[in-house]
Amino acid sequence: MSKRRNFLGNLVAFSLTGLWSSTLLSQTKIPGLNSPTIKPKKPKNGARIALIAPAFNTSSEKIDRAVKDLTEMGFQVVPSKYLGDRYGYFSQTDQLRAQDLMDAFKDKTIEAIVCVRGGYGTTRILDQLDYAAIAKNPKPLIGFSDITALLQAIYIKTGLIGFHGPVGSALEKSYSKAMWLNLWKHSGSGFLMDSVDQDEIKDQKSNEYQRITITPGLGRGKLVGGSLTLITSLIGTEYEIDFTDKIVLIEEVGEKPYRIDRMLTQLLMTETFKKAQGYALGVWVDCDQPAGSKDGFSLHEVLKDRLMPTEIPCCYGMSFGHTPWNMTLPIGA
């Protein structure tokens, strides 16, 4: 048994170090990364933050709710130019959505960028972003789901740490707000990210909220990953994730167990997925078989079948993903 498998138990927390820069631009060379890691500057109290829609369009009700929640959290919300637009199922054309994001990075008065929702569309704008400009204007970008592609592409191309966390329209739970603010306000060398207390989710009867250890052990590494669908969609592109010595965050929503099986199988056939230090799985909402169904395998059975043979430390049920209780995690830290 390898040393990294000595302990895990029911892992419910992340320990983070060295997240924020005390200057505008702080760089640390990380082996295996083309660019030095860039630590963003911590947003101040009352910071101006851009609210953008880089993927699907968003209803005015969700935008209003996002502005309300973010304002109550102490931010000054600056809506992007195309935030409320509609172009088919997107907020705007690929070119204009990319422009919206770049305008937010280049605006010196903006300290952070919040995506109002995910959906689909960020992979279509990856080749239209000015990564050199992003590296010169580093600031926190936060979102999850389809935003996985942006977080990973920017980290791979520039080294800038981004944040896998709630989108602006999904901040209804105090836990999600608190974990976001606590991380962004933290100063010092270490920070512990706890999953939500079990008492708060006791009414969630689905097995999808059950916390299980798939493979016990201990892993240490930089965080990468996000949506399983987006992780696999980046395979074979210049934005493909190198999982070597990383802790891989994985979450999903609305996919049947056989589709989960197929995507995990594809990942297992890549060069680096089995070289990770650990797999940290969030809450995979609406991905299990219906209660009482005997047709096929359950979500947990698929996860164990695909991931346990790697002997890499793995746990399921951490508080991130398409769940109202969604912690904020730094990609690249």
Q: Three-state SS across 201-238?
A: HCCCCCHHHCCEEEECCCCCCEEEEEEHHHHHHCCCCC
DSSP-derived 3-state class of residue 129: coil
Amino acid at 6: N
- Give which of 242, 41, 33 is closest to 158, Cα–Cα: 33
Residues 6 or more apart in contact with residue 100 via CB below 8 angstroms: 52, 53, 54, 80, 81, 82, 83, 92
CB 51 within 8 A of CB 155: no
Show the CA angle centred on residue 246, arms to residues 242 and 248, nearest 5°: 90
- Report strand pairing: 314-321 vs 278-283: parallel
- Give which of 112, 111, 109, 114 is closest to 83, Cα–Cα: 114
160 Cα distance to chain centroid = 14
Which DSSP category does 40 fall into? Answer: P
- The full DSSP string for 135-149 is HHS---EEE-GGGHH
Provide the annotated active-site residues.
Answer: 145, 251, 322
Residues 6 or more apart in contact with residue 129 via CB below 8 angstroms: 98, 101, 102, 153, 154
* Cα–Cα distance measured from residue 42 to residue 184, given in angstroms and rounded to the nearest whole number: 6
